[in-house]
Structure 1
Amino acid sequence: MRVLSWLLLGVNLGCVRALSVRREGDLVEKRAETITFNNPAAKQFYVDGAKLPLVPFDAGPSYAGLLPISSDPNETRKLFFWFWPTNNPANVKNLMFWTNGGPGCSAFQGLLEENGPISWNWGQAGPTPNPWTWTNLSNMLWVEQPVGTGFSQGTPNITNEDQLADQLIGFMQQFLNVFDELKGNDFWVTGESYGGFYVPYIASHIYADPSALDLKLKGIFISDPSITYPIVQKEIPALRFVQANKNLMPLNSTYMRSLQKISDTCGFTNYLDKYLKYPPKGPIPLPKGSFTKTYRAHKKCALNQRIMDATTLINPAFDQYRVTDMWPIDWSVLGFPRAIEKFVYFNRTDVQDAIHAPHVKWEACATPPVFNETANHNSSFGINGGKDGDSSVPSALSVLPGVIEKSERVVIVHGLEDFSFMPEGTRIAIQNMTWEGKQGFQTPIKPESFTRKNMGVLGNAHTERKLTYVEFYFSGHMTPQFVPWAAYQTVEYLLGMRDSPSS
């Protein structure tokens, strides 16, 4: 009972504020602003948090709309943003940027279902205040990027992450020209999934040219990120994941033997035991003959899709993003990951009007791809493992080590129930990465080493040389959605508000 009361009241969350519930016709007490913007241009983006459709409480003031990716007066490419000032006056000098992955998935998944002030999670009948909103800790900027994502406008023309970073920085310059009271703030770049490409490349570009933005980049946070080749994060650990979760993925013994044969033939079975060492014994090779030129598994070695297809036969509600999901399927007001919604919130015209969005069909994840495949003839997956025309090298094999070295803190988190990118694959990526003169973590990740006060053990955590890696129990792919209290605590650590990610 004490734990339940704590969850309901938000005790120990610093500046979580009580939000009054609104009924139709009620007068709503306005929430005070912690920061004001003097540029008259800011007024056109103002969103009244007491008038958001279907939201029965005052969510507070925010700003939303389209801004171009350059100062060119003829620029047609624009990114859509939703900026929420912090509700804590002590944190007005902090600014965090958030992006979802895909590529081409909207950051508003994060805002509405993960780390924003309004929570409308899977299965919820309606929105509620989020006691673990990251706006308690910082000003928050959710951006639908790259061009072609969500409400963003223009024709996608990028083929790699360097171009993506340049466009995002161009947008940020226009954003800071309007909201110039944010200039000079401490800054963190955060995201999830394919954000494992986006975030490190954006940070790397900012570190390479600090004069490009009048912000002080301190570090990054990436959740369940794509940071290395798909075969490492999606295929090699797949059979071992099923074996460890047999009660959730109960494939019959005949089928398991067929999977075991594939794993043995393709060199997956003993791979983790051989190479997942602390410290590593040297560069970690890929299993010979198991992958294509795009670093996906050969068809004969592709375990991941086989396992998902077989598991879905016995559990029609199977979800690669959280393997504990069972029947019936929870609806999502954003229509993701399954389109069984009554309506999509951001396709309501009253919502679009409230946030100054164009009257277009909004999709949680963009189709067609946001990278220009016709301009990149390497392959449909990019010669270096990128997705949908992205030709960039995965970040753990390119820019991420340098970002760690230049940052005050870098945090990578991973849900242990995630089958889309598996945690053992992420561990391999870290152990194959060299930063500050050493390869990988030098000492093992201690089990049950992540705790939260009044809740107990919630996962595993390890920090070396400015890189922190945390694995969460109870969580799948979207950690701020599934274990918001645990993700919140790691963000407090990222921002230097606590000495350890664990309580």
Structure 2
Amino acid sequence: MFKLIAIFCLLALFELSNADIQAKRLFELLKSKRSRNSPVPHKWIASEEATDEYSPVYIAPQDGLAQLDKIVALPGQPAGVNINQYSGYVTVNPNAGRALFYYFVESPTDSSTKPLVLWLNGGPGCSSLIGAMSELGPFRINSDGKTLFKNDYAWSNVANMLFLESPAGVGFSYSNTSSDYDKSGDKNTADDAYVFLVNWLERFPQYKTRDFYISGESYAGHYVPQLAYTVLVNNKKTNQTVINLKGIAIGNAWIDDETSLQGMYDYWWTHALYSDTTHDAIVKYCDFGSESTSDICGNATDKAWEEAGEIDIYNIYAPVCLTPPQRNTSAIPGSINNFDPCWQYLLEFYFNDSTVQEALHVRPTSWDLCSNVITSWNDSAPTILPIIKYLIENGQRIWVFSGDVDARVPITASRYSINALKLPIETPWRPWYLNQEVGGYLEAYKGLLLITVRGAGHTVPSYQPQRALTLFSSFLGGILPPSS
């Protein structure tokens, strides 16, 4: 058995209350993938000859459901905020009783001319309400866990934002057939998300011809390209719904197992998280592309985790949540420029409030950031690079963005993965600017842009909301952020 188990045996050192649970889920998956019983990955790239076969998906009548899904106001929403919000369930399999939950925010200005963007958080098995309420949505939660404050840098300022909890078993999404949860994996997740999209567009037909983009982070480095591929393949089928997909943007994204593991340890060493001696041992004895490795490698990776100490590995310079927030006291007004290290407690408290669940039109649910009913993941490709290559060849805009102080899926991992594609460079490495400061760095390749966000952790918009919005606006416009 591949000795990645050793990488995880000291995870307890990092079980601080602000640890990013979706990134933790990612490494639990990597551990299981290296076991002797790891499932066979699904072969994603289909032959071109098979793409024109007509295989209709389930589409249900959606008339009138959008109006029923409209949110009057979220509990604790600040006064004077006038936005159209919707939430509810979309059935993706009526026989199994499988339904996915969505939260949709229309842009407060000129929504009829702005694109539609689907956001997916990772895990696998974590809720996209993480993105909606702690990253890029219109609100964030105050310290009382009951009231909200406005996010001036919400991505809904420039796009109509759709957040999907996927697959079934995540957040409010569910199945009446409990065995569905045991079948979770990349392929079923992409297939259900596609059925969701087709039906959602029937519910909101004004978006059928709108420019459409998919974005996400962490294990959404799998979700987003795989769903984009599924959309493109189905667009080629006779009589199938055509979705006007234009591109994808993925942040701190896990897209290739071998290069990402190498990039993680190299990042740790270059940021002084462990010793030269330990790094030399990892370089000498660890082969992350191999199915087996030595005890010496396992001992070295153990030592790396031990030497790194009790820091927030998802933002190595961030404060940690030492105690849960005292939610019975009055709210301390939040600041969009100071990310609350106890954010996970706030989300759990807010979304388990019965008045919040009623406002969201969901059935009573014990909501958690990541699913506790999905206990296994049945297929996970070791690399997504062939799918990214397919998307580039089919004219999609591909942006890979990275917060540069994340040590879990760091910028070195993204660079190594993209370098493996061997794409020609069109714009050499340079800084980009916002408010006369360096916002990050970028390098443009043929069909793909790599861009960093200075000072951002694993969840980029949480830590650098203004820079993240600038990046996102540039992505939608297909232009590079300013060079001065």
TM-score tier by shorter-chain length is 0.7 to 0.9
- Among residues 473, 476, 482, which one is paired with 1:492 in the alignment? 473
Aligned residue for 1:284? none
- Among residues 458, 463, 467, which one is paired with 1:482 in the alignment? 463
Q: Are the equivalent residues in 1 in contact too, given 2:88–2:362 (CA < 8 A)? A: yes
Counting only pairs closer than 5 Å after superposition, residues 4-403 of structure 1 correspond to structure 2 as: 39-49=63-73, 52-57=74-79, 58=81, 60-70=83-93, 72=94, 74-89=95-110, 92-120=113-141, 127-154=148-175, 155-158=180-183, 160-210=185-235, 212-229=240-257, 231-234=258-261, 236-246=262-272, 249=273, 256-266=275-285, 287=287, 290=288, 292-293=290-291, 300-302=296-298, 306-312=303-309, 315=310, 318-327=311-320, 329=322, 344-369=349-374, 373=376, 388-396=377-385, 398-403=386-391
Q: Are the equivalent residues in 2 in contact too, given 1:196–1:226 (CA < 8 A)? A: yes
Q: Distance in 2 between matches of 1:180 and 1:444?
A: 39
Note closer, same or farther for the CA distance 1:420–1:63 as it changes in structure 2 (3 Å cut). Answer: same
**Which AA in structure 2 matches 1:41?**
L
Q: Are the equivalent residues in 2 in contact too, given 1:415–1:476 (CA < 8 A)? A: yes
Aligned residue for 1:450? 432
More helix by share: 2
Note closer, same or farther for the CA distance 1:116–1:152 as it changes in structure 2 (3 Å cut). Answer: same
1:90 shift after superposition: 5.6
Q: Are the equivalent residues in 1 in contact too, given 2:319–2:341 (CA < 8 A)? A: no
SS at match of 2:132: helix
Q: Are the equivalent residues in 2 in contact too, given 1:79–1:144 (CA < 8 A)? A: yes
Q: Distance in 2 between matches of 1:309 and 1:232?
A: 22
Higher relative contact order (CA 8 A, sep 6+): 2
- Among residues 409, 418, 433, which one is paired with 1:421 in the alignment? 409
Q: Are the equivalent residues in 1 in contact too, given 2:425–2:446 (CA < 8 A)? A: no
Q: Are the equivalent residues in 1 in contact too, given 2:88–2:361 (CA < 8 A)? A: yes
Note closer, same or farther for the CA distance 1:94–1:307 as it changes in structure 2 (3 Å cut). Answer: same
SS at match of 1:424: helix
Q: Are the equivalent residues in 1 in contact too, given 2:141–2:346 (CA < 8 A)? A: no
- Sequence identity of aligned pairs in percent? 24
SS at match of 1:301: helix
SS at match of 1:119: strand
Deviations 1:307-333 (A, max 9, x none): 344333xx4xx1111111235548589
1:395 shift after superposition: 1.0
Q: Distance in 2 between matches of 1:226 and 1:113?
A: 20
Q: Distance in 1 between matches of 2:146 and 2:189?
A: 37
1:182 shift after superposition: 1.4
1:441 shift after superposition: 4.4
Note closer, same or farther for the CA distance 1:80–1:336 as it changes in structure 2 (3 Å cut). Answer: farther
Q: Are the equivalent residues in 2 in contact too, given 1:113–1:121 (CA < 8 A)? A: no
| RMSD, aligned α-carbons | 3.0
1:238 shift after superposition: 4.2
Q: Which TM-score applies when normalising by structure 1?
A: 0.72
Aligned residue for 2:7? none
Aligned residue for 1:273? none
1:127 shift after superposition: 2.6
Q: Are the equivalent residues in 2 in contact too, given 1:411–1:469 (CA < 8 A)? A: yes
Q: Are the equivalent residues in 1 in contact too, given 2:312–2:320 (CA < 8 A)? A: no
Note closer, same or farther for the CA distance 1:304–1:420 as it changes in structure 2 (3 Å cut). Answer: farther
**Which AA in structure 2 matches 1:55?**
Q
- Which ranges of structure 2 fall in alignment gaps of 5 or more residues? 1-61, 328-338
- Which ranges of structure 1 fall in alignment gaps of 5 or more residues? 1-37, 268-286, 374-387, 434-438
Q: Distance in 2 between matches of 1:129 and 1:338?
A: 15
Deviations 1:89-130 (A, max 9, x none): 165451100010000110000000111111238999953211
Q: Distance in 2 between matches of 1:219 and 1:46?
A: 28
Deviations 1:409-432 (A, max 9, x none): 211001111111121121111111
1:493 shift after superposition: 2.0
Q: Distance in 2 between matches of 1:330 and 1:412?
A: 34
Note closer, same or farther for the CA distance 1:239–1:430 as it changes in structure 2 (3 Å cut). Answer: closer
**Which AA in structure 2 matches 1:259?**
T
1:342 shift after superposition: 9.6
Q: Distance in 1 between matches of 2:396 and 2:146?
A: 41
Aligned residue for 1:18? none
Q: Distance in 2 between matches of 1:262 and 1:148?
A: 41
SS at match of 1:356: coil
1:55 shift after superposition: 2.2
Q: Distance in 2 between matches of 1:471 and 1:304?
A: 27
**Which AA in structure 2 matches 1:500?**
L
Q: Distance in 1 between matches of 2:393 and 2:110?
A: 31
1:336 shift after superposition: 8.9
Q: Distance in 1 between matches of 2:168 and 2:362?
A: 15
Q: Which TM-score applies when normalising by structure 2?
A: 0.75
Aligned residue for 1:11? none
Q: Are the equivalent residues in 2 in contact too, given 1:411–1:494 (CA < 8 A)? A: yes
Deviations 1:357-413 (A, max 9, x none): 22111110112436xx4xxxxxxxxxxxxxx332334211x2111112223421100
SS at match of 2:174: coil
Deviations 1:142-195 (A, max 9, x none): 000011111101132545423322111111122122111211111001110000
Note closer, same or farther for the CA distance 1:209–1:475 as it changes in structure 2 (3 Å cut). Answer: same
Note closer, same or farther for the CA distance 1:131–1:431 as it changes in structure 2 (3 Å cut). Answer: same
Aligned residue for 1:405? 393
Q: Are the equivalent residues in 1 in contact too, given 2:139–2:149 (CA < 8 A)? A: yes
How many residue pairs were aligned? 401
